């Protein structure tokens, strides 16, 4: 019988980040997975990053996670989305070679100190009262641990649908974890069903590429990881094609044979990732839909047609795909399918992703109702860190909405739950202007250092970068100009008699670094990378000043903890409705309480008063 501090169940993106984070924290960690070859498998589209998602990848990277580095190793095309817009809404994205990604992840997982990768099926959790004590394997072996992180993805009660056929499975070709699902259901936790779909995979050799519009990558790649300095794989282009009236006719004529439309699936699918059946039914007036043909790898002819996920029978899939330009003679390597799976209502979790009412059990990834590698990886990181902190007897770490997309996501999940698979968008972040992909390291790496999850290489690189930024800002502050001087140099500024230093100037419209260097040639020695970073910080200057006050107030409220089991019914003056809501949601801080739907400022004062009252009594 083996003992670990932390066990991770599952080897997907959440599981790998959780295991590596736990190991970085210095505790003995085991990752248990069905198949070791599947570590780091991208089971859906072959891309990492994007809007909101790219932000999450940078944040994982800032905390020394693996996703950004693996993505850079696997990248066969770089695209910075929203390049023409401001830095807050730019999202780095790559097309990734599946096997390179898997290879990088597996190699690092297997080589990491204090991390054992165990190939087995977990069939049950071991309980000591309401505290988890480890896991039971299919061969009845037991592994003990102080904390367990479950990252079982769609494997819990997973069921695949292709047309009229359906069978239990976690992913095409893998078995579903039914025994574990049964035990979890037995715990009486709030569960639900969600669904997601995939498109048919195509054989690239049978695609008429010459007939299609291509989409090349960026000339200047924007890397996912703060540590990456150069492109590591050959770069390729994607292609774009479109559905047409004939495609739509074929789909429409066969809707009755679709699993989703035949009423076989009860789970809720994502609105932002509709199947081709959905697109044609809900947007009947649109006569064409865009499809991106994404290569799955350099040495792999598989092509992922992004935009036509389906649960139609295989013969209908072939018919509609072949009605599309460039795909007239295409071979389908694997038909598309829909998968329906169990998720656990994430409102049962704390901000540390621990089940509130059970000790030592953490959940991350799709099981919490999210979708996407990046969302899964970020949760895995948080769960892994917290499981390790728990094993070490240290306080949990929680992430604030004002500090990171990770904080936004976890707050959304644990406070509001999900009604469809949750995906990150930049519009979810109310402090979007300060939560940028470019400053994820400045926001989070210092926190990581204080937690102890940052390796030496990153810590040093980060320290140097900050020193360069500080030096450059000090240099900029050292040059100041009167409005008269600026006007003489051809810049229009108001004649208010105020001296402006070179950093202030970068916050004014019409000033970039070159303009500033023209005024003070000594500043020309500041390096290109540092210049870009400072320019990005100054773009939102006036807005950020306004936001800072709100952020400070929010953080003050988040610092006021509400003890678990706090009795809201004892607060006179608080309406029954609000008291009931608070008791159900169980906010951990006053900041969270404030975000509960229907909360009023006056009610918040009552809660605060009750908290203070408790303290006063304790003192008295």
Partner 1 sequence: MDTIFALASARGKSGVAVVRLSGPRAHDVAVTICGGLPPLRQAGLRVLRDSAGEALDTGLVLAFGAGSSFTGEDVVEFQVHGSLATVAALESCLAQDHGLRLAEPGEFTRRALENGVMDLTQVEGLSDLLEAETESQRRQALRVLDGALGRLVEDWRKHLVKAAALVEVSIDFVEEDVGDFDAAILAALETVAGGLASEIAGQAARERMQTGFEVALVGAVNAGKSTLLNALAGREAAITSEIAGTTRDVIELRMDIDGFAVTLLDTAGLRDTDEVIESIGIRRGRERALQADIRVILCEGPDAPPPLQPLPGDIVLLGKADLFPGHDDAVSGLSGQGLDRLLARIAAELTSRVARDGVSVRRRHLQAMQTAERALSEAIEKLRSGAYVPELVAADIRAAMTALDALIGKVDVEDLLGDIFASFCIGK
Per CB under 8 A, 158 contacts partner 1: no
Strand partners, 31: 8, 117
Any idea what the Cα angle at residue 30 is, between residues 29 and 31, rounded to 5°? 125
The distance of closest approach from Cβ of residue 609 to partner 1 in the complex, given in angstroms and rounded to an integer, is 5
What's the DSSP call for residue 416?
Answer: I
* Residue pair 5/114 in contact by the 8 Å Cβ criterion: no
Q: Which is nearer to partner 1, 215 or 231 (CB)?
A: 215
By CB under 8 A, which span of 148-156, 359-367, 492-500, 571-579 interacts with partner 1?
571-579
Considering only the stretches 137-145, 245-253, 517-525, 595-603, report the one whose residues sit in contact with partner 1 under the rule CB under 8 A: 595-603
Choice from 229, 563, 601, 618 touching partner 1 (CB under 8 A)? 601
Footprint on residues 375-414 left by partner 1 (CB under 8 A): none
CA–CA distance, 223 with 79 (Å, rounded to integer): 9
Residue 282 makes contact with partner 1 by CB under 8 A: yes
The angle subtended at Cα 316 by Cα 314 and Cα 319, nearest 5°, is 115
Residue from 428, 447, 434, 427 nearest 381 by CA: 447
Report helix, strand or coil for 378: helix
Residue pair 296/203 in contact (Cβ under 8 Å)? The answer is: no
- Measured CA to CA in angstroms, residue 481 lies from 98, 225, 354, 469, 492 at distances of 54, 38, 55, 22, 13
Residue 4 binds partner 1 (CB under 8 A): no
Q: Cβ of residue 611: shortest distance to partner 1, in angstroms? A: 9
Name the token pair of 63.
């905390």
Task: Write out the two tokens for 581.
Answer: 């809501």
Q: Does 214 participate in binding partner 1 (rule CB under 8 A)?
A: no
Shortest approach of partner 1 to residue 458 CB, angstroms? 29
**Residue 356 to residues 127, 135, 335, 359: CA-CA distances in angstroms?**
15, 19, 40, 7
367 binds partner 1 (CB under 8 A): no
Binders of partner 1 among residues 510 to 539 (CB under 8 A) are 539
Site string for partner 1, 301-320 (x = CB under 8 A): -----xx-------------
Considering the rule CB under 8 A, would residue 216 count as an interface residue with partner 1? no
| Of the candidate residues 246, 252, 271, 477, the single one contacting partner 1 (CB under 8 A) | 271
Cα torsion 572, 578, 581, 587: sign: negative
Q: How far is the CB of 545 from partner 1 (least distance, A)?
A: 12
Q: Give the 3-state secondary structure of residue 610.
A: helix
The three-state secondary structure class of 474 is helix
Cα 140 versus chain centre, distance? 35
Instruction: Quote the least distance from Cβ 215 to partner 1, whole Å.
Output: 10
* Residue 551 is a binding residue for partner 1 (CB under 8 A): no
Interaction pattern, residues 422-461, with partner 1; x per rule: CB under 8 A: ---xxxx-x-xx----------------------------
Residues that bind partner 1 in the complex, under the rule CB under 8 A: 50-52, 81-82, 85-86, 88-89, 271-274, 279, 282-283, 286, 289-292, 306-307, 425-428, 430, 432-433, 539-540, 543, 549, 571-575, 597, 600-606, 608-609, 612-613, 616-617, 620
């Amino acid at each position: 019988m083996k003992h670990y501090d932390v066990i991770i169940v599952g080897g997907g993106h959440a599981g790998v980040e959780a295991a590596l984070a736990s190991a970085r924290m210095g505790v003995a960690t085991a990752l248990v997975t069905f198949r070791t070859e599947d570590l780091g498998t991208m089971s859906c589209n072959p891309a990492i990053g994007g809007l909101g998602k790219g932000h999450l990848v940078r944040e994982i990277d800032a905390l020394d996670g693996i996703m950004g580095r693996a993505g850079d190793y696997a990248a066969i095309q770089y695209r910075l989305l929203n390049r023409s817009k401001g830095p807050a809404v730019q999202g780095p994205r790559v097309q990734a070679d599946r096997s390179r990604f898997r290879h990088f992840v597996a190699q690092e997982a297997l080589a990491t100190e204090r991390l054992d990768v165990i190939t087995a099926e977990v069939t049950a959790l071991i309980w000591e009262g309401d505290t988890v004590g480890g896991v039971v394997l299919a061969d009845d072996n037991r592994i003990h641990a102080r904390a367990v992180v479950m990252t079982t993805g769609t494997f819990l009660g997973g069921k695949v649908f292709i047309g009229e056929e359906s069978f239990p499975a976690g992913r095409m070709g893998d078995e579903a974890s039914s025994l574990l699902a049964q035990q979890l259901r037995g715990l009486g936790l709030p569960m639900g069903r969600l669904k997601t779909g995939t498109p048919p995979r195509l054989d690239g050799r049978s695609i008429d590429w010459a007939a299609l519009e291509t989409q090349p990558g960026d000339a200047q790649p924007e890397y996912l990881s703060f540590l990456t300095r150069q492109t590591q794989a050959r770069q390729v282009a994607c292609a774009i094609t479109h559905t047409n009236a004939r495609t739509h006719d074929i789909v429409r004529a066969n809707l009755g044979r679709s699993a989703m439309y035949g009423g076989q699936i009860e789970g809720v699918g994502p609105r932002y990732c509709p199947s081709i059946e959905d697109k044609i039914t809900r947007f009947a007036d649109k006569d064409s839909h865009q499809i991106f043909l994404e290569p799955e790898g350099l040495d792999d002819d598989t092509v992922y047609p992004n935009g036509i996920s389906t649960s139609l029978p295989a013969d209908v899939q072939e018919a509609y795909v072949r009605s599309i330009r460039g795909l007239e003679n295409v071979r389908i390597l694997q038909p598309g399918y829909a998968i329906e799976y169990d998720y656990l209502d994430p409102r049962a979790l704390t901000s540390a992703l621990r089940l509130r009412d059970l000790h030592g059990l953490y959940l991350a990834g799709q099981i919490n109702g999210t979708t996407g590698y990046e969302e899964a990886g970020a949760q895995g990181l948080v769960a892994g860190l917290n499981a390790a902190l728990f094993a070490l007897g240290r306080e949990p770490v929680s992430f604030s909405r004002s500090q990171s997309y990770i904080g936004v996501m976890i707050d959304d999940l644990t406070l509001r739950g999900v009604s469809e698979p949750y995906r990150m968008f930049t519009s979810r972040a109310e402090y979007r202007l300060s939560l940028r992909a470019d400053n994820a390291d400045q926001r989070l790496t210092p926190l990581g250092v204080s937690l102890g999850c940052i390796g030496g290489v990153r810590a040093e690189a980060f320290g140097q970068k900050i020193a360069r930024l500080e030096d450059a800002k000090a240099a900029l502050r050292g040059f100041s100009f009167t409005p008269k001087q600026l006007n003489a140099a051809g810049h229009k500024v108001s004649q208010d008699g105020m001296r402006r230093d070179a950093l202030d100037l970068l916050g004014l419209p019409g000033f970039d670094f070159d303009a500033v260097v023209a005024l003070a040639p000594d500043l020309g020695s500041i390096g290109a990378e540092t210049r870009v970073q400072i320019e990005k910080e100054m773009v939102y200057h006036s807005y950020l000043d306004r936001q800072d006050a709100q952020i400070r107030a929010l953080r003050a409220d988040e610092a006021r903890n509400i003890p678990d089991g706090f009795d809201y019914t004892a607060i006179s003056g608080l309406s029954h409705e609000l008291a009931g809501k608070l008791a159900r949601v169980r906010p951990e801080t006053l900041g969270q309480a404030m975000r509960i739907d229907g909360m009023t400022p006056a009610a918040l004062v009552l809660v605060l008063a009750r908290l203070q009252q408790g303290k006063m009594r304790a003192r008295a």
